Structure 1
């Protein structure tokens, strides 16, 4: 039984549930069991080696690179959009403003801390951030997942993380938010099969978006309504989620470089060096 951990947000559920519904199957007959946790809990769990396969923030991957490989599928990127730094309309942010972030190792936290080194950071579950800003517990917060679609009218967007990312990059690259990592101790033939199965699941899901969305809504496993679900999936679970592109790899490498330059990571790495080496499977059957 292969444990697959993912977040409870709509794009992760959408990309995985083609397996739950039996639309795709492992070529090796592997069986999958899923668990849903918030993304920072998944980052920490991956650092502890708790699951065979897990969704992970790209910002967290360098910390687990020795024990987990990156998968090419199930990825979420921003392209002109992404997490939002929000505050109350009447709030003026000082240089050392207090901000709520969704987790120390999330991509948005890495980028935020590079851009706002003097901010006072507290970490909260992403579902609690809007309330913390509204109550005045913090001056601002970074919203992620479906929270970016529908937040209180008393709040305004101070800055888009996408805009910060573009300034840091010096050009427009896809903003790497979430991917998937697989335990290195899994035999290579099984690892390749797992990646292939998950790739098929994402591909089938995107090709049957209306049907799968309807099934998820009917089962009440999604936190948003039908219109919000469609909007959210267009952003984060689409054809670009099926397999990493060259531009997406460049975006990941830029994130890793920025984190290394800021002293967050202890080594400068390239994502291409940490993908599952599928060429061995090709050689085996050549």
Structure 2
């Protein structure tokens, strides 16, 4: 049976899915047709129901929950993994950092600043809305182009994700605020960034099988960390091996094997807070796949 799966070309995703799509584990008769897209494109594909399984932002999941449910394996959550708001201007960075940390309203001029965001439905944009709801004028920029847009002064501020958090300082850019740190101090929870969802319409045993296989793929990656090196490198924006593996170690962790009680609580906290602030609509469906006993035993 062939299933359509979508994930990003970023090192954390290619690391997670390497063993699955290259049959380094027994996929039990399943084959996977991969579509590589940046996370905002994947968000929109989920809104259209184009893929059987897909990575998406947790923010976007709120708008796709009628058709998809969250797998227990494959998520990106953690401490110290959040998006960063950065700028080319060190004085602007210092002033805005103080404004945001003190919870003050931005100055009138700050509301006209141009902010490059990696997508309207990204978790990064959701967190920026929590930390600084009235700051700047947002415009969508491909995540890999945000640093250059700052350097060339097309935008004043940039919201960066993925491996860019390891490279921005080398390009003379400055951090305003770590939005993951902001979330952690506010909630005492790991930050939910992205998850793997599956179509609700698929049979329950198949959904559990997919969840089990993704878990096995992550575990294979941990046991054989260099097995997918060439595959990961072939898709990575940043080709330096050290940077790639820093990226992987940051985003792939115990929550990628299974969410656990803490991971599920963090996701629920994010959704509850977003609904209360009217950032997302209320959700009528259960968010999480119910992992069957047989699937657990298979793992």
Give 2:243's match in structure 1, choosing from 205, 212, 228: 228
Worse-matched range after superposition: 240-249 or 137-146:
240-249
Distance change >3 Å, CA 255–CA 182, structure 1 → 2: same
Instruction: Extract structure 1 runs of 4+ deviating beyond 3 A.
Output: 214-217, 279-282
| Cα distance in 2 for residues equivalent to 1:22 and 1:81 | 29
- Unpaired stretches in structure 1, ≥5 consecutive residues: none
Shift of 1:261: 1.7
What SS is found at the alignment partner of 1:11? Answer: helix
Corresponding residue of 1:141: 158
| Cα distance in 2 for residues equivalent to 1:73 and 1:274 | 14
Shift of 1:281: 5.2
1:162 aligns with 2:180: yes
Distance change >3 Å, CA 215–CA 113, structure 1 → 2: closer
Q: 2:14·2:231 contact (CA, 8 Å) conserved in 1?
A: no
Following superposition of structure 1 onto structure 2, how do residues 161-240 of structure 1 map, counting pairs within 5 Å? Answer: 161-169=179-187, 172-213=188-229, 216-217=232-233, 220-224=234-238, 225-240=240-255
| Cα distance in 1 for residues equivalent to 2:32 and 2:213 | 10
What SS is found at the alignment partner of 1:82? Answer: coil
Following superposition of structure 1 onto structure 2, how do residues 127-138 of structure 1 map, counting pairs within 5 Å? Answer: 127-138=144-155
- Count the aligned residue pairs: 277
| Cα distance in 2 for residues equivalent to 1:121 and 1:222 | 26
- Unpaired stretches in structure 2, ≥5 consecutive residues: 97-108
RMSD: 2.1
1:106 aligns with 2:107: no
Give 2:260's match in structure 1, choosing from 245, 257, 260: 245
1:150 aligns with 2:164: no
Shift of 1:44: 0.6
1:17 aligns with 2:30: no
Give 2:143's match in structure 1, choosing from 108, 126, 139: 126
Per-residue CA distance 1:153-184 (angstroms, 9 max, x = gap): 32100100112212432xx2100001111011
Shift of 1:267: 1.1
Corresponding residue of 1:31: 31
| Cα distance in 2 for residues equivalent to 1:262 and 1:244 | 25
Distance change >3 Å, CA 198–CA 99, structure 1 → 2: same
